């Protein structure tokens, strides 16, 4: 159960390195901010009433911003990018329109619209098309009659504010010392002073407004120019650089008309290449001062490029074929390449391969699902220069690879399955036949099943069959006799059943031994299919931070397991979980696990209240009392029998439903909170039976946890003993405890995983159908 419904196909503006909304510490600040804000809420409401605006203006604004899971909310189909910053922005404005005032009408919006139109790469995230259409409607309908309050046109004002804050946040990310929570205040100041263009120009230039420019964070690559006041010697040296062949070649890659190819290969990262040489004043890196090739660094680069396939990448994407040919020519002296084009091609190869190792081949932001993990900015040109100075190009690539042991384990599995392919192994096809194949049956398909499983497992064959005691349903459908006196290859016996169950376990299926549709589909997957599955899961590791932390929790949705790790990536605890259903998928993100709440209250989400509980209230208002639930409106707790439920629908549902702690509570006796924009958390559940299923995608988006008190005991020790925790639960009162050592929690989606318990690779079902999208792009 969750407070907010999540979307499978929502988009979120991030840079390639994995931008997220706000860092974990900002959520704590927001909580404190709203604690103070609630103190002054009555004053804000009174002010709104005096001005003739709707009395519950802020409630209306926050309802639009925060309840986007409601299908009637105007932002349901085009989500807001910055709900936290928007809430802060309108709070400081007492929820008044930002882009309209009676003095100059929509002058602010028109100025902002001009700024936004220049950001073509963020067109959809900035709501440009939708705001233009809405503005046309406002001009023709509302302005002529003098109306511009949030109850008529708030959608427009919020969309423009979201676009303004999204652009400011995107521009501020690379700036050292930037503080996203200040952006709403700074935007408000720019609006009041009429300095919007200055505000955004400073951010574009890598300057945090109010601070002096910092050249170190400038994004654009510029030609080196002599500093103001430089002496004639400095200017002369600079002129020599500007006249050099390397400088002219590199600049031709980044200035119009751009040069696209070198030595017949397309230049892949011209901007990174230019930044690399700018840092060294355009000095050759792969050649010495006499412009002779440096064999040590070039050989290290080639070794890395030629083994890129071991990482699940393709060497030909990094000029490997061309560089091998040119380097052989250099070594034999047959036809050495032009020095500077060869130099630059080597740099381009190193930086492009490094970028793919560190960030992945595919940009996760191009996927039709949100991948919300923060990545620290990586300065590849600077890193490459440092390691080349140490003659250690291999170290440059090693630092960029994912450091988690699971990445190496998947690489080992990739090598194993590629060897199968090289050895000509092709899995035999198991025919469909008539109906499922069950233990105890005699069927011609069993022989094919044995052959198929023998390619991956040890399947006993040359022995007497040992028949099981079949279920009654099997007895009635299949005539069974005693064990065969000689081995029968077509008999589904007990030995074969054990292997089938092992196969099903390794593929995330119910280990019941029945060869149904799902099991048959996976049995008939090819070695190439398995290799592809490993490849795209290696790619997902490259989308994550290289370092997950000393202590962290990891939830893998396709395996329906939570793992707890201690320093050294040591697995100390594993728990079964129930995750979001296909229609309400659990989002993929990371946050800080901060506190645990015992005997929690459950605030029923709007979507559940209107879609599931409202129909029951229409039939019986006593439903709430029977389930320990209470009904609230703006005036406080109300009696559900005094509401005319026949006239209530999702469109006019203005109530809050809250479930008291107790045995019936949907969250059980404990929940684990890691504040996030999705309102997702871990929690107990009174419905324990689902944990017995192999596939457990049933929730509304939050994560139900089996035996959650064991996790609570682990996280709270040694401060709270198991007995002390049991006493807290027994009292039945709501109590929140902060975790002594907060740790990161990662909600991930890996369909190939090498289990720590048996060192075997598991191929899990693609629960949300996301692998096919990645495989298509990969």
Q: What is the 3-state secondary structure (H, E, C) of 84-137?
A: HHHHHHHHHCCCCCCCCECCCECHHHHHHHHHHHCCHHHCCCCCHHHHHHHHHH
The reported pLDDT for the residue numbered 765 is 95
Going by their DSSP bridges, the two strands 761-763 and 752-754 should be labelled as: antiparallel
Going by their DSSP bridges, the two strands 636-638 and 752-754 should be labelled as: unpaired
The reported pLDDT for the residue numbered 463 is 52
Closest C-alpha to 561, from 579, 588, 548:
579
The reported pLDDT for the residue numbered 707 is 96
Looking up tokens 């652009």 gives 167
Mapping DSSP to helix (H, G, I), strand (E, B) and coil, where does residue 682 land? strand
The reported pLDDT for the residue numbered 744 is 97
Determine contact, residues 206/174, Cβ cutoff 8 Å.
Answer: yes
Regions in the chain scoring below 70 on pLDDT: 1-57, 119-125, 141-153, 210-243, 458-486
How many residues appear in the chain?
778
Determine contact, residues 440/475, Cβ cutoff 8 Å.
Answer: no
Residue 18 backbone class (left: φ over 0; alpha: ψ -120 to 50; beta: rest): left
* Burial grade of 460 (CB within 10 A; 0-12, 13-18, 19 or more): middle
Q: Which two tokens stand for residue 376?
A: 């620290």
Determine contact, residues 620/667, Cβ cutoff 8 Å.
Answer: no
The reported pLDDT for the residue numbered 8 is 38
* Burial grade of 676 (CB within 10 A; 0-12, 13-18, 19 or more): buried
- What is the per-residue burial (b if ≥16 Cβ within 10 Å, else e) of 209-219? beeeeeeebee
The reported pLDDT for the residue numbered 233 is 53
> What residue ranges define each of the domains in the chain, with the CATH number in brackets?
24-217 (no CATH), 232-401 (no CATH), 445-525 (1.10.101), 530-777 (2.40.440.10)
Closest C-alpha to 705, from 586, 615, 611, 619:
586
How far apart CA 767 and CA 557 sit, in angstroms, is: 8
- 422-429 long-range contacts, CB within 8 A, separation 24+: 425/455, 425/527, 426/526, 426/527, 427/452, 427/455, 427/523, 427/524, 427/525, 427/526, 427/527, 428/452, 428/455, 429/524
Determine contact, residues 700/5, Cβ cutoff 8 Å.
Answer: yes
Beta bridge partners of 578: 704
Closest C-alpha to 109, from 55, 151, 148:
148
DSSP count for the chain of H helices, then E strands: 28, 18
How far apart CA 432 and CA 446 sit, in angstroms, is: 11
Determine contact, residues 522/508, Cβ cutoff 8 Å.
Answer: no
In degrees, rounded to 5, the angle at the alpha carbon of residue 158 between the alpha carbons of residues 157 and 161 is 90
Looking up tokens 């929570």 gives 181
DSSP secondary structure code for residue 62 in this structure: H
Q: What string of H, E and C letters represents the secondary structure of 470-527?
A: CCHHHHHHCCCCCCCCCCCCCECCHHHHHHHHHHHHCCCCCCCCCECHHHHHHHCCCH
Q: What string of H, E and C letters represents the secondary structure of 528-595?
A: HHHHHHHHHHHHHHHCCCCCCCCCEEEEECCCCEEEEEECCCEEEEEEEEEEECCCCCCCEEEEEEEE
How far apart CA 45 and CA 433 sit, in angstroms, is: 71
How far apart CA 103 and CA 82 sit, in angstroms, is: 28
The reported pLDDT for the residue numbered 144 is 61
Determine contact, residues 410/541, Cβ cutoff 8 Å.
Answer: yes
Determine contact, residues 691/706, Cβ cutoff 8 Å.
Answer: yes
Determine contact, residues 254/275, Cβ cutoff 8 Å.
Answer: no
Residue 80 backbone class (left: φ over 0; alpha: ψ -120 to 50; beta: rest): beta
Q: Which H or E element spans position 603? A: strand 602-603
What is the value of pTM for the model shown?
0.69
The reported pLDDT for the residue numbered 446 is 95
């Amino acid at each position: 159960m969750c407070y907010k419904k999540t979307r499978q196909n929502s988009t979120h503006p991030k840079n390639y390195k994995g931008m997220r909304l706000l860092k974990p510490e900002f959520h704590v600040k927001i909580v404190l901010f709203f604690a103070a804000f609630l103190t002054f809420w009555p004053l804000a409401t009174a002010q709104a009433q005096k001005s003739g605006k709707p009395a519950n203006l802020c409630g209306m604004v926050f309802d639009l911003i925060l309840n986007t899971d409601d299908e009637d909310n105007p932002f349901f189909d085009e989500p807001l990018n910055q709900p936290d910053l928007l809430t802060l922005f309108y709070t400081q404005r007492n929820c008044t329109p930002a882009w309209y005032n009676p003095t100059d009408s929509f002058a602010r919006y028109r100025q902002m619209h001009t700024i936004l139109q220049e950001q073509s790469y963020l067109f959809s995230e900035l709501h440009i098309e939708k705001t233009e259409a809405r503005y046309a409607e406002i001009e023709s309908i509302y302005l002529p009659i003098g109306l511009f309050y949030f109850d008529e046109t708030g959608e427009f004002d919020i969309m423009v504010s979201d676009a303004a804050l999204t652009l400011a946040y995107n521009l501020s990310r690379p700036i050292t010392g930037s503080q996203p929570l200040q952006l709403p205040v700074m935007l408000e100041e720019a609006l009041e002073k009429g300095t919007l263009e200055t505000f955004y120009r400073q951010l574009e230039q890598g300057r945090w407004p109010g601070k002096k420019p910092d050249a170190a964070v400038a994004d654009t690559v510029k030609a080196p120019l002599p500093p103001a006041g430089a002496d004639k010697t400095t200017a002369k040296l600079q002129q020599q650089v500007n006249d050099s062949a390397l400088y002219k070649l590199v600049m031709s890659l980044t200035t119009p008309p751009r040069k696209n190819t070198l030595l017949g290969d397309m230049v892949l990262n011209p901007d990174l290449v230019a930044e690399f040489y700018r840092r060294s004043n355009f000095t050759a890196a792969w050649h010495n001062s006499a412009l002779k090739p440096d064999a040590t660094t070039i050989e290290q680069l080639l070794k890395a490029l030629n083994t890129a396939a071991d990482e699940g990448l393709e060497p030909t994407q990094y000029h490997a074929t061309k560089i091998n040919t040119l380097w052989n020519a250099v070594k034999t002296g047959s036809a050495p390449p032009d020095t500077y084009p060869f130099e630059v091609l080597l740099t381009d190869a190193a930086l492009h391969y490094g970028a793919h190792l560190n960030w992945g081949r595919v940009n996760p932001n191009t996927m039709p699902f949100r991948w919300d993990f923060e990545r620290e900015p990586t300065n590849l040109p600077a890193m490459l220069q440092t390691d080349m100075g140490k003659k250690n190009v291999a170290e440059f690539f090693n630092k960029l690879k994912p450091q988690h042991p699971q990445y190496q384990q998947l690489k080992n599995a990739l090598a194993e399955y590629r060897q199968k392919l090289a050895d000509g192994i092709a899995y035999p096809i198991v025919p469909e036949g008539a109906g499922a194949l069950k233990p105890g049956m005699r069927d011609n398909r069993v022989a094919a099943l044995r052959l198929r499983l023998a390619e991956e497992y040890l399947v006993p064959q040359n022995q007497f069959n040992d028949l099981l005691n079949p279920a009654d349903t099997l007895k009635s459908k299949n005539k069974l006799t005693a064990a065969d006196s000689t081995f029968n290859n077509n008999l589904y016996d007990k030995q074969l059943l054990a292997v089938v169950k092992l196969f099903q376990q390794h593929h995330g299926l119910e280990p019941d031994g029945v060869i149904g549709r799902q099991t048959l589909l996976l049995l008939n997957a090819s070695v190439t299919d398995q290799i592809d599955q490993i490849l795209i899961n290696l790619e997902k590791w490259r989308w994550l931070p290289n370092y997950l932390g000393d202590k962290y929790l990891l939830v893998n949705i396709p395996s329906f397991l939570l793992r707890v790790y201690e320093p050294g990536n040591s697995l100390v605890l594993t728990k079964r979980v129930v995750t979001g259903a296909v229609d309400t998928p659990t989002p993929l993100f990371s946050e800080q696990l901060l506190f645990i709440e015992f005997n929690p209250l459950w605030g029923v989400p709007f979507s559940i209240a209107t879609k599931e509980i409202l129909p029951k209230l229409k039939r019986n208002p006593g439903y709430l009392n029977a389930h320990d639930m209470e009904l609230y409106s703006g005036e406080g707790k109300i009696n559900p029998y005094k509401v005319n439920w026949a006239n209530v629908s999702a469109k006019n549902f203005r109530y809050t439903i809250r479930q008291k702690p107790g045995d019936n509570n949907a969250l059980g006796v404990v929940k684990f909170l890691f504040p996030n924009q999705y309102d997702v958390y871990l929690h107990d559940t009174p419905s324990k039976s689902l944990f017995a299923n192999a596939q457990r995608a049933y929730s509304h988006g939050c994560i139900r946890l089996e035996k959650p008190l064991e996790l609570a005991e682990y996280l709270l020790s040694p401060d709270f003993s198991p007995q002390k925790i049991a006493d807290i639960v027994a009292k039945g009162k709501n109590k929140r405890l902060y975790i002594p050592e907060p740790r990161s929690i990662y909600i991930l989606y890996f369909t190939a995983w090498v289990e720590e318990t048996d060192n075997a690779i598991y191929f899990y079902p693609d629960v949300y159908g996301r692998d096919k999208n990645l495989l298509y792009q990969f």
